[in-house]
Structure 1
Amino acid sequence: MFTHRELFELLEEKSQRYNRPSFIETDPIQVPKQYSQKENIEIAGFLAASIAWGQRPTIIKNAFRLMQLMGNNPYEFLLHTEEKDWGQFQTFKHRTFNGTDCLFFLRSLQHIYRDCGGLETVFTKGFQIDNRVASALQHFRRVFFEVEHEARSQKHVSNIDKGASAKRLNMFLRWMVRTDKAGVDFGLWRGIPSSALMLPLDVHTGTQARQLGLLSRRQDDWKTVLEVTEKLRTFDPNDPIKYDFALFGMGAFE
């Protein structure tokens, strides 16, 4: 088994290897990367992250299709169109995410940007309850489901109160919050510090964390996210989630 120092050096080396612009070429983050306006980055990032399960080329293709259906300007689309004109989304499908879910997501995002100050405001208000990302995720979910929706759509926004690992939401927060010189994450949001972020736990990061002795829990749930993130904070308390690049890269590319 690795010593703490050996683990630190390995994680640092792998983070630097994968946290670079070439990472974007195979990652859904390329979808919001096409935009410069903050609100477009947020909306494109949220929608791309929301359908980020399955094969990555399919995720990216379908996320770009969503952007095209919104005229490649999602913020203007949500501000200046009405649901009666959204017929083109009824046939959208990504795995179990269908047209009904898509129309609800757009309706909820429209509510968030018209009435709630935008995604950053909603997540930050939740975080400010007790300076925990868990509270940000809980508050966001409450706001997101304030508008009318079918029960089926609830499964597409992780509920950590039921133990979900919230991989896609944590990945979205990493994109929006983390800032460094590598040029991958956006670092747009200032109200949530990088030190508070949680690992986007998926099959790659979980497998690698267990192989390296960073995780003892076998299931991929919220308690596991808490355990592994606390371990990563022992290597860098200010930016523990930079090691997402190391764990994911080792699992996906090696």
Structure 2
Amino acid sequence: MESLVNPREKIYFFILAAISLLIYLSLIISIVGIPYLVAGLIISLFAHGIFIGHLRGNGIRLSENQFPEVYRLTAEYARRMGLDHVPAIYILQAGGLLNAFATRFFGRDFVVIYSDVFEIAYEEGEPALAFIICHELAHIKRKHLTWSWLLSPAMLIPFLGAAYSRACEYTCDRFGAYFRPDGAVSGLLILAAGKKLYRNVNAQEFRNQADNERGFWIWFSEVLSTHPNLPKRIKALNL
């Protein structure tokens, strides 16, 4: 599966890791820096803990008795990716936001799918939903979450952290398309067009926007973003 990894992901990872280690060392060496390091870790842990508490307290956790077909689908693709566990997968109501993501807390992996995305993908059929799930499982497979603590200081560097994140997204799209190529385009169009219009989008025309819509502000907006522009993500899959 190494062939599915975007080459830039590895390059940016080593650059970020080296910079972060230097930052950590400078804070440890500096007596003044240690309290800031400890305070930052505590605040980050506390904020993440609150979110995980909200997720587990209010989200719908998939299981053999709760959307069992989707749970089994997740377990099957986790096995095929070589994961040694099935992450906890939750549906979370988010006021109409269209998103899905993976996160990690105290060694536990979570996949979160916002309810509107789940609803749309569920109606579209297994391929689109499977692509979205495989994309998030790929973040766990590639250990993007495991190494986030190491890379955190350097991720704050303008442009560099976002570039690494975009490379990771390209990698996860490749994983998703490798396992469910029939759901890749519809899975991405759901994020682009919303609950109803995605069915009527001309996918080829939308893909062509990656070539036709150019300019400084389009470029600048993307280099500041953690995700590549959606037409470019579809184009990159070359389906």
TM-score by length of 1: 0.25
**Relative to total residues, which structure has the larger strand share, 1 or 2?**
2
**Relative to total residues, which structure has the larger helix share, 1 or 2?**
2
TM-score by length of 2: 0.26
